[in-house]
Amino acid sequence: MLQVQDIHASYGAGEVLFGVSMEVKDDEVVCLLGRNGVGKSTTLKAIMGLVPTSTGTITFKGEDITRKRTDRIAKRGIGYVPEDREIFSFLTVRENLRMAEIAPKKTYRDKALEYFPKLTELLDQEGGSLSGGEQQMLAIARAVTGGADLMLLDEPSEGLAPVIRGELVRVIHELKKEVAILLVEQNLHLTLELADRIYIMVSGAIAFMGTPQEVQEGKAVEKYLML
């Protein structure tokens, strides 16, 4: 579904990504691990066209989307949930979901509310008044409403209470039946539970790729993730 081939990206004069290559197949959860500041979030932003790439290609469902506008990438079926969620705090939950219905030809608001039934009780509540866990639910539900075939989730478990984190794991397992997922995550245990394949990033480049079993049996964690 998604192929990233040898992309380089910079913030101004400072290069951040150095030849990143990865792929996400249909109905697969791929996790991107790494220490803080190694380029994980930048990789997601580069896929979405939010950070310009200087070289390399990004292909989605057989179409070259390299350096396309972000809105056009989203319309092609990539949903992006950033680390800070970026919900509209002064709009209600219902209005936040409606914003995702503007672009697609077909929307999936009912499906999104099936994943997060609690949101049905909060439809008339402003996004800014929700708890952190509820805001994360809304951010993911908005991507589902937009009809994404691939979802990019940036640190979705960060700051969540254990109960809410467990609910998130349940939803990602359910989402996997419908969409492909590229997940940036710091929580190793969560990653091992969810992932079909894992990439580990070091200093803006991919240093390891393997299955959760290979991560556990090998020395990848000690070599690339331990301080």
- pLDDT in the model for residue 111: 86
Strands 14-24 and 29-33: unpaired
- pLDDT in the model for residue 105: 54
Buried b (16+ CB within 10 A) or exposed e, 142-154: bbbbbbbbbbbbb
CATH number listed for the domain at residues 25-36+70-198+206-225: 3.40.50.300
Q: Which segments in the chain show pLDDT lower than 50?
A: 227
- pLDDT in the model for residue 158: 84
Query: Residue 177 corresponds to which tokens in the numbers above?
Result: 């039946």
- pLDDT in the model for residue 188: 85
3-state secondary structure of 9: strand
Distances (CA, A) of 219 to 27, 212, 213, 223: 28, 12, 11, 6
